[in-house]
Every structure is written in C-alpha cells, then in structure tokens.
Chains A and B, each alone.
Chain A
Amino acid sequence: MAAVDDTMTEADAPTIIEVSPDDARRVQTPTEPNAQDGRKSDKLLKVRGLSTHFFTPDGVVQAVDDVSFELGYGETLGLVGESGCGKSVTALSIARLVPDPPGRIVSGEIEFDGIDVLKLDSDEMRHLRGKEIGFIFQDPLTSLNPTLTIGYQIAESIRQHMGLSRDAARDRVAELLGKVGIPRAKDRLNDYPHQFSGGMRQRVMIAIALSCDPKLILADEPTTALDVTIQAQILELIQRLSDEFHTAVLLITHDLGIAAGMCDRVNVMYAGRIVETGTVDELFESPRMPYAWGLLDSLPRLDDIRGDRLRTIEGLPPLLIQPPDACRFEPRCRFARDKCREDEPDLTPRAEPGHLARCWATEPGGWIP
C-alpha cells in the first residue's frame, strides 16, 4: 500500500490534458493513403464464417456461430454486446487462444494481413501473437507475472520478437513506458506489478501490447475494471497511440458509450452472431435491429428525467445449446411476426453502404420502414 502511494505522488503531478473538440478524435477515414507500407492484403483482418463451440458436459455451446467481418488497417472496430454474446470468444478465436478443451474453432477462415491464421503451427502462431497482435485485457493484474519486474516483462517480448540487444531493449522499454504516460519511466523499470495502481498497470499492459509495433490490438473490456476518470485516461491513451502507431484496434466492450467514442465501425453481437454492423454514426443514428434499439433504450442518460421508466428488453438471451433455426432475438422482440419464428434472417444490407442488419422486419419490404 505504502509503496504504491509513494510512487504515485509523482503521477499525481497535475498536468491536465484537455481535449478540445478538434483533436478529440482521429479523422474519420481510417485508411490514409500515406500508410500503405507493408500491407499484404486490402484488409488487415478478414474473418469468414467463424464458428467456435464449447464442448461441455451439458452439450455443445455454440458460443460463436458463423461470424464474418473485416477490419481495415488502422481502423478501430467495436464488438459490442452483453455477457455471453460471444464477443470475447471471437477475439480469442482470432488469436487462437480459445481454451481447448473444451473450446474449439469448428469452422471458418481467419486471414490476418494475408496470412491464414488457422493454418499456422503453434510456433508461427506464437510469433504472430507476440509481434503482430497486442493484447489488452480487462484485468491487468492477472495478465502480468507478479514475480518479474515490469521492465523485464516488456523487454522479454521485444528481445524475442525484434531481436534487439539487452540495452537497446531496455531503452525501448523506457521509451514505451514514457509514451504510455508512466512518470519517471526509467526509474520504474525494476518495479513489480503490485507496486503500480490499477490504471498504471493497464498502461503497462498497453506498453507491452505496443512493444513490437503490432498491426492489431485486441482490447477486451480494457477499462471495465477501472474508475470513470481513469477509464477516460486509458481510452484517450489507446486512441492517441493507435493513431500514432497506425495500429488497428478490435475493441470489445459492453459499454455503448465507449464504442461511440472510440470506434470507426461497430459490430453488435447477440447470442453468438453478429446482428448488426455499420459505421459508428450509422449505428447510433439509425440502428436497424430491435436488439440495438433495446440496448439504446435501456441506458439511463444524462438527459433523463427523474422517475422515467426505461424501456427494457424483457427476458434473457437464449441458451446457445442447439439454438433454434429462427431469429435468436425473436423471443424477446416485440416486433416479431411469424416469419421470425420460422426462419433465421441473414445479415443483409440496409440503406447506407456497409450497414447490415439481421432482421426480417427492417429488411426492404419488411414491416418496419
């Protein structure tokens, strides 16, 4: 306790970051023409028909079922949904980190920067994970080894994947820690994870994620364990650094507010499937799927009046063991008709290009215009 406090006083030095309207966000076009170097494909990540199932004693849980999406170089894509919707399993599948057993990728293709990820052997995969894909998880304490110093843990992957010498790696670590806003970075290289506060540990995780100049960062609920003001710091940091390094981010979150502020595009997931996808503006301005409506309705907002009732989504998500061949949201959907119970809709285009939804009602010719 005391150790943290002492070291934190420095960090408390009040240098206030004020984000003005103009630079609050990166420019909307994620792919800038001047950053074409080293690209082996038109998109950084292509996921096609990904299905990841968990083989449990109670049955096969179809945690992710036929999920397809693409992520451009330098783009930030949000995966939004409630717990158990398959968003984390999707990310784990991309990094081939699904615990096996009981989990297994049963079908689909994952192409990362022109490489077929599912065909790599475990050594190649480890290299890809260390070098090309960085990770930021919800709980930084469990992802850091408590018995090793911060400096060592970051330098480890740099030396392994970038072939730097011990000294060069150390310099780079100090530089990285400075970049992620850890004060007196050089002095803190020999500190252990428990000597950092939660927000600082998440900064360390970000430094590790960025250490090898990855092309993609998988951020799984990176700020869920943090307080609002610390969350704002971390989000700002992720946004600034992904811009600077031109890194693509796959951001997994349950918080629609975070998705609205961070992402270029958003995929909404429900019961193992993507139910709507589109640019962040499209999705928040005119969502075309009753589940997305329900989510937005459920959020209390700063402009609410006391005593307002929130419009809720009734019931619970379905079991993912043998889901019926019908719209998976139908049992909770107040707009459902017979068709929804008979057949599952596909992810089909809506008015704007790139905006797709999985809903019979809002399809052209459906009963909701």
Chain B
Amino acid sequence: MATQVAVQGQVAQRTRASAGLWSDAWSRLRKNKLALLGLILVIALLLLAIIGPFITPYSFSAQDLAGVRANRNQPLDPLQTAHILGTDQLGRDLLSRLMDGARISVSVAFVVQLVILAIGVPIGALAGWFGGRLDNLLMRFTDIVYAFPDLLFIIILTVAFRETFVGQAMDGLLLVFVAIGVTSWVTVARLVRGQLLSLKETEFVEAARAIGVSDRKIVTKHLLPNGIGPIIVAVTLGIPGAILAESVLAYIGIGVQPPRASWGSLIAEGQKWIRSEEHLVLFPAIAIALALISFTFLGDGLRDALDPKLKGKQ
C-alpha cells in the first residue's frame, strides 16, 4: 500500500547514514540468509577452481591401477582406500576429477557469460539507444535467434567445428563456450534494450541532455550505472543454465575431451556402474546441484537487493 511505502520511505530517508546505492544493496543482501549462503558457496566454488589443482590428492588423469586390480577390476568405493570418494574403474580418483570438473564448470559459468555480454550488450544497447529502424532490425534478428532450438544448434555447431583449431582449443571447451553463448545472448540483449529505452526517457537523462552532456557520456555515466543492476542479476541467474547446458553436452559426449572430464561427462561415465557403484553418479550430481542452487540463491538475492522498486524512493 502506498501509505506504508511512504511511511517507510520517510524513515529510510531520514535515518540511514550517508550511503551509496551499492552499499545500500550490499546491506540488503547481507540480511538475506539464502543469498549469503549462495554467495559463500559461489566463493568456495571459485576458490576450488583456482587453487584446486594445487591441493588435489591426485592428478585428474592419474590411474591407481594397482588399487583397481586389487578390487577385481571394479571402481573403488568411497572411504575404502586413500581415495576418499573412490575411483572409477580406471582407478582415477573421483575427488580429483570432481575438483578438475569444478574448474570446467566455473570457466563455463564465467566465459559463457562473457560471450553473452559481448554479444548481447552491444546489440541491446544499439537497439535501445538508436531505436527506430535499427532497433526493429536488431530485434527481429534476436527473435530469429531466440526461435532456434538451442541444443540442436549447439550440437550442430560443435560437431561441425570439432576438427578445426577452435574445436581443439582448451580441450574442446572454447567451442562449447562459444556455442552456448551464441544461443543465449538474446535475453541479455532484450534486457539491455529495455533498460536503455526506459532510462532514456527519465528526467535525469533529459536533464543531462539539457546541460549538453555528450551522448557517449550519457551512456557511460547515467545509463550503464543505472541499468547494470538487472543485467548483473540476469547474468548471475544465467550461470546455472550455462553450467547445466555444458553438463548436458558433456553427458551426450560433446565438449571437453578425455582424459579431462566435466561433471556432466562424469555422470555419463558413472552411469554404466549406477547399480553397483552409485557414488560415481551421485557425487557429480550433488556437485552440479550445489553449483546451480548457489548461483540461483545468489541471483535471487541480488535481484531483491538491487531492485529499485524497494528503494527508499517513495
């Protein structure tokens, strides 16, 4: 109800110490326990990806053949030997492979979003800022991209370029990044366009124009700082999708090439043993679920924290 908001607005206006909107958002985020949990998990995942290779008990490709042979050529179970989470049937340590998989998932998370931003922001910004015919053209183009069946497109793309230089780069990951990015920038482009369209009409942008501020400065000083909140949220909430997409691709055998394995390909491999050695599926699945949940919690929390409607602005 308007009254209530007004009352609270009045309070917010007068009692909060001088603070920027960013620190304001941070104080709101801090109060959101789920978001905080998500943030902690995300940071843990990041740390794992960065320092993982230095602390893994084994190399992801090292085989404990002796151990496996002693186990009648069966994967080792968790906690049975020095391998805490057990091994696969080639004697490779599951924990080490999961930790290496974390690197892949984190790089998917961030590189794919970078690709998305690199395509989506310029297209959305051009459409939103110039409007008219260009807007119409770009938006119809995004409609077409949106209408493509994503997975099919990615599969075709990766299969087609698998043998090229791009297909081989970064153990085959680069191609996956680009393929996922190329199909998922549409949301960001639309968001940026929408943000720009509405911000362009605000009185503070009009005021900047009346002052004679150049277009470039209006975009960098007014539009981007004000429009960035929802974009951050969209990017954060897009990460689980990218991780999942990579896992799905890996599961069907596209993407990272052996002996490296992402969480998705770990599940694909472990699937063969699911009746006797369920840990080979269970732990990668838990890892994927945790990553997805943590980014989703964080994204939701960011949305609430950055949502301008909750601001003390009446």
Contact = CB atoms under 8 A, between A and B. Distances in A.
Interface of A: 54, 56, 58-59, 61, 63, 83-84, 88-89, 92, 97, 99, 102-103, 138, 319-321
Nearest to B8: A56
Nearest to A89: B3
Contacts of B11: 56, 58-59, 61, 319, 321
B12 interface: yes
A323 to B, nearest CB: 13
A97 B1 CA distance: 10
Interface in B260-302: none
Nearest to A59: B11
Nearest to A102: B4
Interface string B6-28: 11101110110000000000000
Contacts of B10: 61, 84, 319-320
B31 to A, nearest CB: 9
Given A56-B11, A59-B11, A320-B10, 8 more contacts: A58-B8, A61-B7, A61-B8, A63-B7, A102-B8, A103-B4, A319-B11, A320-B7
Nearest to A83: B6
Contact of A88 (B3, B8, B15): B3
18 contacts: A54-B8, A56-B8, A58-B8, A58-B11, A59-B15, A61-B8, A61-B10, A61-B11, A63-B3, A83-B6, A88-B3, A89-B7, A99-B4, A138-B2, A319-B10, A319-B11, A319-B15, A321-B11
A319 B14 contact: yes
Given A58-B15, A319-B14, A99 B8 contact: no
B1 A99 contact: yes
Contacts of A54: 4, 7-8
- Sorted nearest first, the 7 A-B pairs with minimum C-beta distance are A88-B3, A58-B11, A58-B15, A99-B1, A99-B4, A61-B7, A54-B7
Contact of A84 (B1, B6, B12, B15): B6
A321 B15 CA distance: 10
Interface string B90-102: 0000000000000
A56 B4 CA distance: 10
Contact of A92 (B3, B6, B12): B3
Contacts of B14: 319
Contacts of B4: 54, 99, 102-103
B16 to A, nearest CB: 8
Interface residues of B, number: 12
A84 B7 CA distance: 6
Contacts of A89: 3, 7
Nearest to B312: A58
A90 to B, nearest CB: 10
A272 B149 CA distance: 60
Nearest to B15: A58
Contacts of A103: 4
A321 to B, nearest CB: 7
A273 to B, nearest CB: 15
A89 B10 CA distance: 15
A237 B10 CA distance: 34
Nearest to B16: A58
A102 B1 CA distance: 11
A319 B8 CA distance: 11
Nearest to A54: B7
A337 B277 CA distance: 86
A365 B6 CA distance: 39
A354 B282 CA distance: 79
A92 B1 contact: yes
Nearest to A97: B1
Nearest to B12: A58
A63 B7 CA distance: 8
A29 B103 CA distance: 82
Nearest to B3: A88
A92 B4 CA distance: 11
A321 B8 CA distance: 11
Contacts of A84: 6-7, 10
Contacts of B2: 88, 138
A54 B4 CA distance: 8
Nearest to B5: A99
Nearest to A61: B7
Nearest to A90: B3
Nearest to A91: B3
Interface in B212-252: none
Q: Which residue, of B1, B2, B7, B11, has the highest number of chain A Cβ atoms within 10 A?
A: B7
A56 B10 CA distance: 11
Contacts of B15: 58-59, 319, 321
Q: Which residue, of B2, B3, B12, B15, has the highest number of chain A Cβ atoms within 10 A?
A: B3
Contacts of A321: 11, 15
Nearest to A92: B3
A256 B165 CA distance: 77
Contacts of A99: 1, 4
A54 B10 CA distance: 12
Nearest to B11: A58
A61 to B, nearest CB: 5
A58 B3 CA distance: 17
Contacts of B1: 92, 97, 99
